[in-house]
Amino acid sequence: MADIGNEIAIAKALLEEGKLVAIPTETVYGLAGNALNEEAVTEIYLAKNRPYFDPLIVHVGSVEAVSDYVEEIPRQASELMRRFWPGPLTILLPKKSIVPDLVTAGLDRVGIRCPDHPLTLQLLKKLSFPLAAPSANPFGYVSPTNPAHVNEQLGNKIDYILDGGECKVGVESTIVGFENGNSIVYRVGGLSVEDIESVIGKVIVNTHSDSNPQAPGQLTSHYAPGKPLLLGNIQQLYSQHKNKSMAVLSYRDEYELANVRTQIVLSPSGNLDEAARKLFSALRELDKLDVEMILTEEVPDIGLGRAINDRLRRASNKS
């Protein structure tokens, strides 16, 4: 298993050697390596068993650092960076040749962001290179929101986990890009569409997923537990499968159902921020139970609810 600690110097030394380190962010824990070192980037793909056609996000320590790695920064991108960085927002920008094609899966744009976590920001500012850092979990599985999650699944493939505690957002960053004068959200996430539109005006939400993604995190089946996850009306799903053993993941209500081993309510008060923070940990907990399936439901499709519903739909698509 990997060592867990909060020593930035240890993480820095390992990354400078071309090794991988798990890092905390406000969204989820990332599996980080030198984004300019193709061997380190290759190790990220191998450790996660991630397909090479799924691009990685590059993390920098400041807005000023972005110009070292991209050809141009549109006005809308500058406005979003000034308003929301550090924060859960990734911006797709035309990359410079210094960024390996392996990072972007051969695409001419790189997803780049400045994470809002004090330990990782300190680390980034001490490094002479940015970090490629997808979520620190096997490809397609539930993203990690604390060091124990990382160690459970990747602890034998990395040397160190930088311990920043529980992630405060709990779902991945929102991804925004710009095409033909339009601002496009490619992945809904930890920054709401409404917040983005308050700064740059109307955006197109294009979360179409396929096997050839134009941005990280666009694959149809993703963020999934090992157990089948059924998404819909919980009462109806229960009626259809009541002879099976099951667990329930609900938004704010607890259901009176037989044959249900465990129920987790994401937010009894109906707080979407709380629900987002708890989502991945709850899925992990339920996945460990001796049940045949997990029943769940969508949350209100506003604010962070869009990101929660997006992750639930993709997780259920594997079922």
Domains and CATH numbers, the chain: 3-171 (3.90.870.10), 229-317 (3.40.50.11030)
Confidence (pLDDT) at 211: 46
List residues bridging with 71 in a β-sheet: none
Predicted model pTM: 0.89
Successive 10-residue mean pLDDT values, the chain, 319 residues: 97 98 98 97 94 92 98 97 98 97 94 98 98 94 95 95 97 95 94 98 79 60 82 96 94 92 96 95 94 97 94 83
Q: 89-94 and 293-296: which strand pairing?
A: unpaired
The per-residue DSSP string of 150-198 comes to HHHHHTTT-SEEE---S-SS-SPPEEEEEETTEEEEEE--SS-HHHHHH
Inter-helix orientation angle 118-126/8-16, to 10°: 40
Confidence (pLDDT) at 140: 86
